[in-house]
Structure 1
Amino acid sequence: MQVPHKAWVLVADGERFVVFENHGDSDLIDLRVVDSDYTDNPADHLQGSDRPGRMNDPSAGHKSAVDATNWHVLEKQYFAEETAAKLNDWALGKKFSDLVVVADPRTLGSLRTHYSQPVKAKLRRELDKDLTHLPVNEVEQALVRL
């Protein structure tokens, strides 16, 4: 994959992100960390303690179950929204001119729905892979292979 000089590369999942800047050229990628963040998102059963609710049906004396809220998934979506908001702020502040986003498919979908027009204009490539657990040199190698 061609990653231009000074391009930012966002590597994210629903619980963490790292923003890199390419200090190399488009052929020899040299990523350096610009920013990073993470959220502590325990498993759903550790976040919610209530049983799913029940609702009265309009018919005589019947009740229906209500779906339980998955707090873990909601927190991942919220984190992706916050990450997209930061990208939008950085794009408005002209912190980068080119952007590559690498995220797992679910997070990538959440990010896409919150891109502003300046982010869309600077977006060069999206990749639906989870590379957040890899060291920097392996992220560079993964980008070169694509």
Structure 2
Amino acid sequence: MAELKKNTWIVVTDSEKALFLRNLTDHEDPNLNVFDEDEQENPSDEAQSANRPGRMPDTGVGQRSSMDDTDWHELAKERFAADLAEKLYDEAHKGAFERLVLVASPQVLGDLRDEMHKEVRDRVVAEVPKTLTNHPVDKIEKLVKKELDAA
């Protein structure tokens, strides 16, 4: 069972926002303190697209098919996971944390796992597959403790 020991970092993230929390106490009575926050402005794909989708000749005479356009909104979400993984690597390299709990949807956890350096992965003591970025800190404390107790 993973525990929320003192100074364990808890990163609560979705694909556009990350909260960085530190446990100030112990596992029995966690007291999570927000010490940093990252947020990416990511307008809808429609707002980011400049052009209509392209068209290409089809097999029939005078027929044309539309091509898929780049989904800028989705690309920005993937880039956020890479940026977060890089930030965690920088902090791990500085010795800022020894233990890390990741809280994110299964999709975002997968994206993060793909991007994380071994030095960060080795410090991950637990993963909580839930989206909690819009929850108040006291709810995050209770939900994370409950998940770790059940693991």
Q: Same fold (TM over 0.5)?
A: yes
- For 1:125 and 1:57, the matched residues in 2 are separated by 51
Q: Give the C-alpha shift of residue 47 in structure 1.
A: 1.1
Separation in 2, partners of 1:88, 1:107: 17
Q: CA deviation at 1:55?
A: 3.0
Corresponding letter in the other structure for 2:88: L
TM-superposed CA distance for 1:68, in Å, is: 1.8
* Equivalent in the alignment of 1:50: 51
Secondary structure, aligned partner of 1:68: coil
Taking structure 2 as the reference length, the TM-score comes to 0.88
Separation in 1, partners of 2:58, 2:127: 46
Distance 1:71 1:77 in 2: 10
Gaps of 5+ in 1: none
TM-superposed deviation, 1:110? 1.3
Displacement after TM superposition at 1:66 (Å): 1.7
Gaps spanning 5+ residues in structure 2: where? none
**Secondary structure in 1 aligned to 2:115?**
coil
Provide the aligned length of Structure 1 versus Structure 2.
146
Corresponding residue for residue 142 of structure 1 = 143
Counterpart of 1:79, as a letter, is F
> TM (normalized to structure 1)?
0.91
Q: Give the CA deviation at 1:127.
A: 1.3
C-alpha separation in 2, matches of 1:75 and 1:143: 27
Separation in 2, partners of 1:82, 1:56: 39
Aligned residues: CA RMSD: 1.8
Matches within 5 A, 1:1-146: 2-56=3-57, 63-146=64-147
Percent of aligned pairs sharing the same letter: 36
Partner Cα distance (2:56, 2:90) in 1: 42
